Amino acid sequence: MNTEILELLHQNNKSRNWEEIEDKLKPLIVKKIDGEPVYQFYETLKDNNLEKNKQLISISTQPIESFVPFHIHNYVEIMVVLLGKCVVETPNEMIPMKQDEIIIMGTQTIHKVQKIDSGTIVMNIALKKAAFSLSDLDFLTHNKDTHSVSSIMFSLLSSNNSGGAFNLFHTNHDKQVVDTIYDIISEYYQPDNYSNPIIRLEILELILRLVRIASKSSVLQIQKKRQNNNEIDLLTLLLYIEKNYETITLEKMAKYFGFNANYLSSYLKKKTGYTFVKLVQIQRINVAAEYLAFTNAPIEDIALKVGYENPSYLYKIFRKYIGGSPTDYRNQHQK
């Protein structure tokens, strides 16, 4: 916990009177849910004077003791509870959050934060589409030609039609995650000529650390979620595929999570746009591509390693996704 940063943020999270601005924002209403309006908040605002913030990555603090309506953004939002606790609400569920927990809210996802008290500090990081270059995003996709299964989650979050996508991360007060967050805040509020690229890189580092934490979720944690009748989040399912791609079957995965196989298949298709088989193929091809680029292992051995007993099938799937043969890919990437 960085008391200096917390004090800085505390100065910026003053209460705001919704009634004073409600009439001005009526043109931003895009729909209603059970009679409650949903606002289109596409502009990010500065904390101190509420002027438009034109930065591609911007940080603001959640105002205390203030009503916030349901709203959507045209950018990805990372919300971090730095102190205290809060409840994020979507049309379908309540999501309680406590200190150092993080939620990544997808583009066009309807949400709001219930009133927070004066002892709570919630930080919002807005990531506009142009914030990251293609080379920056290589951190998430592993290489420029293929995508890991877990990276699909972040593609969905940034999609214009994310379908209400979000992901909650229980960081367990991970020191490296917390230190990264505080460093991002420090660079933002005390900037110099190097701050913007540092912030971009640290946000990518933060996302990768969150994926690492999610990937280490224990069977006990997953069972606890099921016992509480909480739906397993999509990233947990994708990380399971990423970890077990060599021998995975739909039936094994469904049994592990306590789902009906047909339900699991439909759920993955609905949430990602990909079938279970295609998700497994994407992960196998991603791993095969890394072996081809960074080792001299025979292609037949690589095929067996990623779960294909028949090497010719690897050639077929590789051509489908990459557009060339494994041999061509290796020649291209080992020059």
State residue 208's pLDDT score: 86
Q: How confident is the model at residue 141 (pLDDT cuts 50, 70, 90)?
A: very low
Tell me how crowded residue 327 is: count the other CB atoms within 10 A of its CB: 12
Closest to 18 measured CA to CA, from 50, 66, 87: 66
Q: Can you give the pLDDT at residue 335?
A: 67
pLDDT, greater one: 147 or 228: 147
Mean pLDDT, the chain, whole residue set: 85
pLDDT digits (tens, 9 = 90+) for 207-224: 888 888 887 765 445 544
142 or 164, which is more confident: 164
Residue 136: what pLDDT? 55
Query: In angstroms, how far is CA 167 from the centroid of its own chain?
Result: 6
Q: Phi and psi at residue 69, in whole multiples of 5°?
A: -80, 170
Question: For 117-121, 122-126, 249-253, 254-258, which range has the lowest pLDDT when averaged over its residues?
Answer: 254-258
User: Does residue 227 surpass a pLDDT of 50?
Assistant: no
State residue 142's pLDDT score.
46
Torsion sign over Cα 89, 95, 99, 102: negative
Mean pLDDT, residues 71-94: 93
| Per-residue pLDDT tens digits for 301-326 | 999 999 998 989 999 999 988 888 99
Whether the predicted pLDDT of 228 surpasses 60? no
3-state secondary structure of 328: helix
Between CA 120 and CA 107 the distance in angstroms is 25
- Does residue 166 carry a pLDDT above 50? yes
What is the reported pLDDT for 147? 56
52 CB neighbour count, 10 Å cutoff: 9
Residue-wise pLDDT for 20-63, tens only, equals: 888 988 999 999 999 999 999 988 876 655 567 778 899 999 99
pLDDT at position 139? 47
> CA 276 from chain center: how many Å?
20
What is the rounded CA–CA span in Å between residue 7 and residue 121?
10
**Across residues 155-167, what is the average pLDDT?**
72
pLDDT for residue 282 is more than 80? yes
β 36-40/70-72 pair status? parallel
From residue 98, alpha-carbon distances to 95, 202, 208, 232 in Å are 10, 22, 21, 19
Tokens read off for 104:
């990544």
Question: Running DSSP on this structure, what letter comes out for residue 194?
Answer: T
pLDDT recorded at residue 143: 47
* Mean pLDDT computed over 117-137: 79
Contact criterion met (CB below 8 Å) for 122 and 61: yes
HEC states along 231-276?
A: CCCHHHHHHHHHHHCCCCCHHHHHHHHCCCHHHHHHHHHHHHCCCH
Quick one: CA dihedral 44, 104, 267, 273, positive or negative?
Answer: positive
- pLDDT tens digits for range 255-277: 988 889 999 999 999 888 889 99
pLDDT at 152 over 90: no
Whether residue 68 is predicted with pLDDT greater than 70 in this model: the reply is: yes
Could you tell me if residue 50 is left (phi over 0), alpha (psi between -120 and 50 degrees) or otherwise beta?
A: left
Q: How confident is the model at residue 5 (pLDDT cuts 50, 70, 90)?
A: confident
Q: What is the pLDDT of residue 231?
A: 56
Is the pLDDT at 144 greater than 50? The verdict is no
Cβ 301 vs Cβ 287: under 8 Å = no
Q: Which two tokens stand for residue 111?
A: 């949400």
Burial (0-12, 13-18, 19+ Cβ within 10 Å), 45: middle
pLDDT given for residue 134 in this prediction: 45
User: What pLDDT does residue 13 have?
Assistant: 82
Backbone φ and ψ of 222, nearest 5° = -65, -45
CB 72 within 8 A of CB 38: yes
Whole-Å CA distances, 208 to 150, 201, 257, 312: 10, 11, 24, 34
Sequence-distant (6+) residues with CB within 8 A of 207 are 104, 139, 140, 154
**Which value, in Å, is the radius of gyration of the alpha carbons in the chain?**
22
pTM: 0.77
